[in-house]
Structure formats: C-alpha cells, structure tokens
Amino acid sequence: MNFKKQFKDGLLTQNPVLVQLLGMCSTMAITTTLFNGIGMGVAVTFILICSNVVISLLRKVIPSKIRIAAYIVVIAGFVTMVDLLMQAFLPALSESLGIFIPLIVVNCIILGRAEAFASKNSVAASAVDGICQGIGYTVVLIVMCVVREFLGSGTFGGGLLGPEGAGIRILPEQFPAMMMILPVGGFLTLGVLIAVVQYFLAKDKKGADET
C-alpha cells in the first residue's frame, strides 16, 4: 500500500473527473456556488469511502456474476442513508443539491472505484482510495465552483458567506456573464480545466521520460 502514490493519483494523475472523466453530470450541474461544491464533494467522498470499504470486505463473498448488482445495492443503500440524514440534519444543503443527491447512486466514480479498485484490494487500501479519489473529486468541484461563481455571479463563497448567504461580491453586478452558471458555463469551465491539467500531465510525463 502506497499512500503517497494513491493520494497523488486521486488528486492529479488519476483524478476521477479530469483524467478518468467520471461523474461529469454532477460536476457540471451543481458547481454554481461554493456551498454546493463542498457539500456535494463531502457527500460523494463519504459514500465512496463507505462503499469501497464494504465492497472490499465482501469481495471474496460476492460471486463475480452478480457483482454489479450487489455493488449497486450497497451504493444505493449508502446514498439513501446520506440523503435522509442530510434532509434531517442539513436541510439547507439538501434543498440546494436537490435531485443530485439521489443521483449519486449512478455517479460513475463510485461504481468505477468499486469495480476497478475495491473489488481487488484490501480494506485499508480501499478506504484510502475512497478518501483520495473523493478529495480529488471535491477539489475539482471547488475549483469549478469558484471559477463559475466568479464569472457568472461575480461573487465568492455563495451559500456560505456574505449577506443572505449570497456570497461576497467581487465583480459589480452588471459585469458577470450569466451563462457561466448555466449548463453551458459548466461545459466550458470543465473543458478548459481538463485541457490545462492534461497539458501539464503530458508535459510532466515527457520530462520524466527524457531524464
């Protein structure tokens, strides 16, 4: 088990969103305010750790023919629990994320990590994988939120800071481009972000090959 490598994989070289291109739907849909991004990131990370641990525990018990069905039952169970707990204890966040919480069930990151990692590795390594991949996902969400919120609403920290939780205003109200917080802005931001990260990853790799 190599914690440092797993962490680097999750954050950068195997980042679930930017490199594996998983979980794009939620990434584009909810990254309009910082509060949403952090909330969604934490929810997915929590579910990812739980499902990775349970699936890793059961990896020798679940026959391979029904593994996908078994994974989905486990994941759906955790998602519903988080959904109910959030409604009960964090109603503001639950309202803001709405339908995207139940949709974590079909978020490819969780099923993808269950199939690619947890079903083949030890419980401890799977838990670490859940943490690292979850952090990678959360960081991307936060970056997307900050960029889109700044360009689209002209604020920072929406849902958390400022008057009425509307965020701290940076750009005067007439400047922000509204399209940045609409779906089209999600595609643009994510596309640019992926391009930038891929450029640096490729450069890094080339440099490493030459030396």
Beta bridge partners of 184: none
Would you count residue 138 as binding another protein (CB under 8 A)?
no
Residue 151 touches another protein, criterion: CB under 8 A: no
Q: Give 18 or 70: the residue with its C-beta nearer to another protein.
A: 70
For position 177 contacting another protein by CB under 8 A, the verdict is no
Which is nearer to another protein, 134 or 167 (by Cβ)? Answer: 167
Q: Which is nearer to another protein, 126 or 155 (CB)?
A: 155
Q: Is 84 in the site for another protein (CB under 8 A)?
A: yes
Q: Does 91 help bind another protein (rule: CB under 8 A)?
A: yes
**Do the beta carbons of residue 37 and residue 147 sit within 8 Å?**
no
Of residues 20, 25, 53, 77, which one binds another protein by CB under 8 A?
77
Taking the CA of residue 105 as centre, how many other CA atoms within 13 Å lie in the half-sphere pointing to its CB?
Answer: 16
Asked if 194 touches another protein (CB under 8 A), the answer is no
Whose Cβ is closer to another protein: residue 1's or residue 84's? 84
Closer by beta carbon to another protein, 24 or else 90: 90
Q: What would the two tokens of residue 191 be?
A: 């596309």
Q: Any contact of residue 132 with another protein (CB under 8 A)?
A: no
Residue type, 160: L
For another protein, the closer of residues 66 and 202 by Cβ is: 66
Closest CA to 30 of 77, 87, 97: 97
Q: Which stretch binds another protein (CB under 8 A): 83-91, 115-123, 136-144, 203-211?
A: 83-91
Does residue 136 belong to the site contacting another protein (CB under 8 A)? no
| Residue ranges in contact with another protein by CB under 8 A | 32-33, 36, 58, 61-63, 65-66, 69-70, 73-74, 76-77, 80-81, 84-85, 87-89, 91, 95-96, 98-99, 149, 152-153, 158-159, 164, 178, 181-182
